[in-house]
Structures are given as structure tokens and as C-alpha cells.
Amino acid sequence: MRLGYLTHVAGAAPAQAYRDTVTLAVAAEELGFASFWVAQHHDGHLDGTLPSPLVLLGAVAQATSTIRLGTAVVAAALEDPRRLAEDAAVLDVLSGGRLELGVGAGADAGASARFGRDHDRRHADCADAVDALRAHLDEIVPAAPGLGARLWQATGGSRGVDAAGARGMGILSGRPDAAPDLPRYWARAAGEPRVAAVRVVGPGEAPDAALRRWRADPVRAWATELVVQTQPAHAPVGTHLATLRALAPTRRDADRPAPLGPLVAALRTGPRRVAAATDA
């Protein structure tokens, strides 16, 4: 299982928050993390200072060389799909094909209003934007080969999981209650199934306590990646670095249950095979 780190790029001083984010990404790469993700927030929502995650990841790309760079997430319902595709393609080329583009409907009603969008339509608008984004990725300059297979949908509900699977997108989810829908996603997904579980190290919590919770998490059996974030988001950079260092030795998750391959094969071939696989 891969291990990633997520930051909400929060703090009273945006310039410092951006510099700290680059520092965190460099440290994550040096410690062996597989991915580094940043969240988008408009107008300081939830203390976040980053409305343009692809711009900041451009700076991160120049300071790193191997770690995958993710957005968790861009509110696609507020974006022009072609511009999003072009900006993402430029970052993907700059980074050597390391972008993991996560999108979602967006939860900030204030942002929807400021962008002149109907917040109640955000899920439908997001679906339309994602479909347009995928089409644009096939035609824009610069070309970004493979980026279409590195799209992620932030979702935890049944309809969202099914839609992501039908589009061949990975799933980003912070919800343990997504677990019942994930076997169906693995069985039916177009392309390679990818599930990134986003989990929190809470205020004052030791990272090993978060790992103990993770080992009992119902999503864990279906996840291909654990993405950890430290709360509060505006904690000093030293607190984030301490989480990275504490988690780094466990990044291979050695006590994970048996690989999912046999169960996935069973799911694809019918319920009798499922029973046999789960009893093994």
C-alpha cells in the first residue's frame, strides 16, 4: 500500500504557508512517501489559503523529482474545463508525468455564490465538467500522455463511487462508510481501480494511534493508498514534519491483509467465487 500526505495549506500568512508546503513536499519525498496532495480553498474557507493548487504544485515540482503530486481536490464545478485541462497538462509536463488530478463538487456554498454557480447543482455541474475535462485532455497542447488515467473523484456516496468507476477514475474518500460500495467499484471499474483513503491525525494525537485506527478501518481492505493529513490544518510546519517522520517507517503497512487480487477476480466472476475467496 502506498502512503501519501495531504496539506490544506493553512495559516495566517499565505506566503509562508506556500513556502512551508514546498518544505513539506521535499521532506515527504526524502522520507519515501509516494504522493503529496494539496487542497483547494477559496477566500480562506476552513483557514485554507490556496485557491490555485496547480500553481503551487508547479513550484513543488521544481523542488522534487519522484513524488507524485496531487490535488485533493479542485472544485471542478467552479472551473472552466478546458482551462483546467490546459493548466493540469502544463504541470504534468513540468513534473515529468507526476500529476494526480483530484476533482470534486466542492462543499463551499459561499464559493459557489461568488463564482455565480448554483450550489444545489454542484454535483451535476461537476459531472459535466469532468466529462468535458476528459475530452479536452485528448486534444490540448501540451499533450499530457497518461493524465486521463490519473484522475480522481472525491466521493463517498454510492452514486459517486459508481460514476467514478464508470469513468475509470480513482476514488478519494475520507468516509469509512464508503466501504460497502467499494467491492462493487473494484468489480466494475473501467481501468485500474484506485482507492485513496484520506484519514486524519487529530490535534495532539500520536501518529501511531491514527495507524491503529486505520488497521481497523473498513475501507482499508479496498484501499490502494492511505493519505494522511494533520489537524488542525494551521498547525506549525514542525507539527506536520513530525507526522511525516513518525509515519515514514510504516509506509509499507506490513500487516495489511492478503492482496486483493483473488477477491477482485472472484468479484468479476460471480457471487459463488466471492464466497470462496472471502473464506480462504
What pLDDT is attached to residue 276?
34
Task: Judge whether 276 lies within some domain.
Answer: no
Task: Judge whether 270 lies within some domain.
Answer: no
Domain around 147: 2-254
CATH number for the domain spanning 117: value is 3.20.20.30
Q: How many residues does the chain have?
A: 280
What pLDDT is attached to residue 156?
82
Task: Judge whether 271 lies within some domain.
Answer: no
117: which residues sit within 8 A by CB, 6+ positions away? 77, 78, 125
Contact 152, 196 (CB under 8 A): yes
Whether the ω angle into residue 249 lies within 30 degrees of 0, i.e. cis, is no
Task: Judge whether 274 lies within some domain.
Answer: no
What pLDDT is attached to residue 18?
98
Give ∠ CA 13-19-22 in degrees, rounded to 5: 140
What pLDDT is attached to residue 249?
66
- E strand or H helix that includes residue 170: strand 170-173
Q: Which residue has the cell 476514488?
A: 171
Residue range 119-146, pLDDT digits in tens: 999 999 999 999 999 999 999 999 999 9
Average pLDDT, the chain: 90
Q: What is the mean pLDDT of residues 109-126?
A: 95
Predicted TM-score (pTM) of this structure: 0.90
Structural domain total, the chain: 1
Residue range 249-263, pLDDT digits in tens: 655 554 454 445 545
Q: How far apart are CA 101 and CA 148, in angstroms?
A: 9
Task: Judge whether 263 lies within some domain.
Answer: no
Q: How far apart are CA 85 and CA 139, in angstroms?
A: 10
